[in-house]
Structure 1
Amino acid sequence: MKAIQYKDYGSSVVIELVEVSIPSIQSENDVLIQVKAAGVNPIDMKIRMGFMKETRPVEMPFIPGGEAAGIIVAVGAGVSKFKIGDEVIALTRKNAYAQYVTANENFVLLKPKSLSFEEAASIIVTLGTAQSVLFTEGKLEKGQKVLIQGGAGAVGGAMVQMAKAAGAYVIATASGNGVALAKSLGADEVIDYKLQDVTNIAKDVDLVADTAGGDTQRKLFQILKPGGKLLSIATPPSQELAGQYSVNAYFVASDISSKTLQNGIELIETGKFQTIVSKIFKLEEAAVAQDFLTAGGVNGKVILLVE
């Protein structure tokens, strides 16, 4: 089969298209999926650049890709939830940049019928991360005020929609075309962070969901009410500032499973969630796709089409 491999750590020049054997089912609870589309995520580049050597060590050569949409072509002896021919989405953690990949059935869901494979490959990490930040850790409730930093990105856009569906008052930050996109997704207010200072506009926020990190994160402490939460999926927040402003602030590692995806899937099936695919590349264009995402300013998800 065709697959993308990192031959070593480094820039996108280490990415190559190779021919490797189709993986075989190793566990009785695994399924084998013929991949139709795979999502491109920031962690793919972090692994490639060697930033995850301590927390996510990998052996080179390495096939990246943590989420896939496709068709089940084989099942393990213990699989009870799926059958051959089912169209599914799967969290794989690795090996999704390929024509075939295995996944544990507990991290597989039937693909929503309304979505194409490309759209379906865009929702796994985004829905699971949004659920983890907003509800599992953030405990967001109806009527509360939430600010989503980066509300036009793949994860941020999911957060806007899921927070709005839960009855929260949603403020999003975005720039350029992202301002209109975040508004169309349901944000009550959209702050153009390149033209406006968020600290002059947002006040008494219950929850800040930070997808950007960096220096901009430090300003977000000022807009929280005492006892509020700043949760980041980008960089660990300053505990010194958390103490100074009497808020809770910490990094959130997403818990992505069939359970955490269920809320988002229900929103999709009832027409209350819009998938956002920014651009689709062919599998052999994986290096270009990763560089496109790394360049920043991407509104929505980057997808690899696997043929």
Structure 2
Amino acid sequence: MKAIQYKAFGNSDVIEVAEIPQPEISNENQVLIQVKAASVNPLDIKLRSGIMQQIRPVYLPFVPGADIAGIVVATGEKVTQFNAGDQVIAVTSAGGYAEYALVNESRVALKPANTSFEEATSLVVNIGTAQSVLFDEGKLTKGQKVLIQGAAGATGATMVQMAKNAGAYVIGTVSGQGIALVKSLGADEAIDYKLQDVTALVKAVDLVADCAGGESQNKLFKVLRPGGKLFSIVTPPSAELAEKYQIDARFISSNISANSLTCGLALVKEGKLRPIVAKTFSLEEAAQAQDFVLAGGVNGKVVLVVAQ
């Protein structure tokens, strides 16, 4: 089968299209999926660069890809929820940039019928991460105030919608065309961080969900109420500032499974959460796709179309 591999650590020129054996079911709980679409995530780029080797080592040659959408081809003997022909989405530890992928049943869910494969794969990591940050860890409830930094990005846009559906007051930091997008998703306020001072406009926030990182993260402590929470999916917040402002500040690493997608997928099926696909590339264009993500300023998800 055709797959994308990293032949070495480095820039996008280490990415190559390769012919490798199609995976075969070797575990009674596995599901074999013909991949129709795969998301391009910042994690794929970090793994390619080699900077994650101490905390998440990979061995070369490596097939990246953390979330996919496709059609079930075969199942292990103990798989009960899926059958050949089912259209599904799945979370993979690796191997998504390929024509076929093996996934444990616990990490597979039925694709919402009202989404394309490209839209469906764009939701997986976003929903799981939003669920972890906003609700599992953030305990966000109706009437609370949440600020989402990087609200027009793939995960941020999903957070906006899930927080709003939970009855929270939602503030998003964005720039340029992201302002109109975030407002269209239901945000109560959209602040252009390039033109406006967030700390002068926002106070007494219950939760900050940081999807952007960078130097601006330190400023976000000032917008929280004492006892509030600052959770980042990019870089660990300052422990010193957390103590100074009496804030629960942590880096959140999402452990995404089919169960973590339940609430978000229900919203998708009801038409209350819409996927945002910024751009699609073919599987063979994986290097260009990753460079596009790395350049920044992407509103929504970048997706590889693996098979028509």
Quickly name the TM-score band, shorter chain normalised: over 0.9
Q: Deviations over 1:38-83 (max 9, x none)?
A: 0000000000000110111111000000101000001111111111
- The answer as to 2:48 corresponding to 1:48 is yes
Q: Residues 112-131 of structure 1: matches in 2 within 5 Å? A: 112-131=112-131
Q: Residues 50-199 of structure 1: matches in 2 within 5 Å? A: 50-199=50-199
Q: Distance in 1 between matches of 2:41 and 2:78?
A: 31
Q: Which amino acid aligns with 2:121?
A: A
Q: Deviations over 1:128-172 (max 9, x none)?
A: 000000000000010000000011000000000000000000000
Q: Deviations over 1:185-222 (max 9, x none)?
A: 00000000010010010110000000111110000000
Q: Which amino acid aligns with 1:36?
A: K
Q: Which amino acid aligns with 1:100?
A: Y
**How far is the alpha carbon of 1:30 from its aligned partner?**
0.2
Q: Which amino acid aligns with 2:281?
A: F
Q: Deviations over 1:63-119 (max 9, x none)?
A: 000101000001111111111110000001200000000000000000000000000
Gaps of 5+ in 2: none
Q: Distance in 2 between matches of 1:52 and 1:238?
A: 20
Identity over aligned residues, as a percent?
63
Partner of 2:239: 239
Q: Which amino acid aligns with 1:236?
A: P
Q: Distance in 2 between matches of 1:21 and 1:239?
A: 47
Partner of 1:33: 33
- Partner SS state of residue 214, structure 1: coil
Q: Which amino acid aligns with 1:281?
A: F
Q: Distance in 2 between matches of 1:51 and 1:163?
A: 32
- Partner SS state of residue 89, structure 1: strand
- Partner SS state of residue 215, structure 2: helix
Q: Distance in 2 between matches of 1:16 and 1:102?
A: 21
Q: Which amino acid aligns with 1:296?
A: G
Q: Distance in 2 between matches of 1:240 and 1:54?
A: 25
Q: Distance in 2 between matches of 1:121 and 1:259?
A: 16
Q: Distance in 2 between matches of 1:173 and 1:213?
A: 12
Q: Distance in 2 between matches of 1:194 and 1:135?
A: 29
**How far is the alpha carbon of 1:255 from its aligned partner?**
2.1
Q: Distance in 1 between matches of 2:99 and 2:32?
A: 11
Partner of 2:228: 228
Gaps of 5+ in 1: none
- Partner SS state of residue 285, structure 1: helix
Partner of 1:217: 217
Q: Distance in 2 between matches of 1:118 and 1:271?
A: 17
**How far is the alpha carbon of 1:26 from its aligned partner?**
1.6
**How far is the alpha carbon of 1:223 from its aligned partner?**
0.4
Q: Which amino acid aligns with 2:292?
A: F
Q: How many residues align?
A: 307
- Partner SS state of residue 167, structure 1: coil
Q: Which amino acid aligns with 2:271?
A: G
Q: Which amino acid aligns with 1:253?
A: S
Q: Distance in 2 between matches of 1:249 and 1:303?
A: 31
**How far is the alpha carbon of 1:237 from its aligned partner?**
0.3
Q: Which amino acid aligns with 1:66?
A: A
Q: Which amino acid aligns with 1:80?
A: T
Partner of 2:288: 288
Q: Residues 256-267 of structure 1: matches in 2 within 5 Å? A: 256-267=256-267
- The answer as to 2:7 corresponding to 1:7 is yes
Q: Which amino acid aligns with 1:106?
A: S
- Partner SS state of residue 46, structure 1: helix
Q: Distance in 2 between matches of 1:167 and 1:196?
A: 26
- Partner SS state of residue 183, structure 2: helix
